[in-house]
Amino acid sequence: MKLLVTGCAGFIGAAVCQQALLRGNEVIGIDNLNHYYDPALKQARLNLFSDHKNFRFYPYAIHDEKSLFSVFETEKPNRVVHLAAQAGVRYSLENPQAYVESNLKGFVNMLEACRRYQTEHLVFASSSSVYGANQKFPYSVHDNVDHPLSLYAATKKSNELMAHSYSHLYQMPVTGLRYFTVYGPWGRPDMAPMQFATAIMKGEPIKVYNHGHHERDFTFIDDIVTGTLKVLDHVPSSDPLWSGETPDPASSTAPYRIYNIGRGQPEKLLTFIELLEDNLGKKAIKQFLPQQPGDVISTFADITDLQRDIGYSPTISLDQGISQFVSWFKDGFFHKMLSF
């Protein structure tokens, strides 16, 4: 199988590329290495597999239609894992146009490219943030998600709607994955694990929003990658039980599915911090702050559908995941982080 991975230098994208290459796939990577955070970290991730004989890299932006289509024309990938996007809830409050360009225009370009070149299966990244103001726990893909709390979340919900329209119109197999708080080695420096670990080691305060009352469904990167590739191998078909009278948001008469992909076990943010402290061997200086606009208080994934359809079974506990993350972080990477 020839697999195209967008956002291949990102946290999840790089891990997907590594695992896909290990299992024998030919992998085509696209990433524009933008400056949302230091491109040096993205390049360091790429260096882990860029010299593999079955990997080829294109430094393109997905909102550049001509460049994106040229990759499809040249490579003709069988399947696509679309992970490129402008990430971050808080950044969307300051730079909304970046989300329109990448998450909306770029996503339409991806759908159109998959249509024109008859891709067998498009798997794309949605987000747990689409649940927004929902307070029914655990979050279920069968519930409506019509009240996003940030522009980032709104663009991810829009991606799901646009993907369904293409799946319906062109019978194009599409699966959306709502990722829940992914963490682990090579993670993003703008996310809590990296920010907290770096600040703790430097003796600087960490910002703990909502006075520490957040809960998150922390999911280790290895479990995420295993699930993503299993989904890629599971091409969706029409749901024979779907009814327009009682429409299920998670499926369709089209070859379309939406899944939650998380651990299915929320943890208190303060517990996460305590585990970091224990593994780093140093206490955090906590600066407790009010909740930020766009944040949700808790996330909790109902992963029943993914367990049923692909046998998804996350295996890494929070204790184990934090231990692996800190081992990697302390193994020389903290010093490199000072430059990122």
Given this model, what pLDDT does residue 310 score?
A: 97
Answer whether 0.75 is exceeded by the pTM: yes
Residues 104, 53: Cα–Cα separation, whole Å = 33
Dist CA 263 CA 317 (whole Å): 8
Angle, in degrees to the nearest 10, between helices 65-75 and 106-116: 30
Tokens standing for 327?
């081992």
Cα angle value 227/42/282 (rounded, 5°): 80
Show the DSSP H helices in 136-209 as ranges.
Answer: 151-170, 192-202
Query: Would you call 166 a catalytic residue per the annotation?
Result: no
Q: Residues 322, 276, 90, CA angle at the centre, nearest 5°?
A: 90
Question: How far apart are alpha carbons 4 and 80 in whole angstroms?
Answer: 5
Q: What is the CATH number of domain 2-181+218-264+299-315?
A: 3.40.50.720
3-state SS class at 4: strand
Give me the tens of pLDDT residue by residue for the chain, a chain 340 residues long: 999 999 999 999 999 999 999 999 999 999 999 988 889 999 999 999 999 999 999 999 999 999 999 999 999 999 999 999 998 887 888 899 999 999 999 999 999 999 999 999 999 999 999 999 998 999 999 999 999 999 999 999 999 999 999 999 999 999 999 999 999 999 999 899 999 999 999 999 999 998 888 899 999 999 999 999 999 999 999 999 999 999 999 999 999 999 999 999 999 999 999 999 999 999 999 999 998 887 788 899 999 999 999 999 999 999 999 999 999 999 866 556 555 5
Q: What's the chain's length in residues?
A: 340
In whole angstroms, how far apart are CA 170 and each of 46, 72, 167, 247? 34, 18, 6, 20
Of the residues 58, 139, 152, 259, which is catalytic? 152
Neighbours of 1 (CB within 10 A): 15
258 CB contacts (<8 Å, ≥6 apart)?
126, 141, 160, 175, 176, 177, 178, 249, 250, 251
* Cis? peptide before 247, omega within 30° of 0: no
Residue type, 5: V
Contact assessment for residue 162 and residue 218, using Cβ atoms and an 8 Å cutoff: no
Burial degree of 295 (CB within 10 A; 0-12, 13-18, 19+)? middle
Which strand (E) or helix (H) includes residue 13?
A: helix 11-22
Phi-psi region of 211 (alpha: psi -120 to 50; beta: other; left: phi over 0): left
Question: How are beta strands 215-216 and 267-268 bridged, if at all?
Answer: antiparallel
Q: pLDDT tens, 302-319?
A: 999 999 999 999 999 999
Q: Which residues contact 173 (CB under 8 A, 6 or more apart)?
A: 120, 121, 122, 167, 235, 236, 237, 255, 256
At 37, list the tokens.
């955070």
Alpha-carbon Rg for the chain, nearest whole angstrom, is 19
Q: What are phi and psi of 15, to 5 degrees?
A: -70, -35
pLDDT, the chain, mean? 94
φ, ψ of residue 292 to 5 degrees: the values are -90, 150
* DSSP-assigned letter for residue 188: -
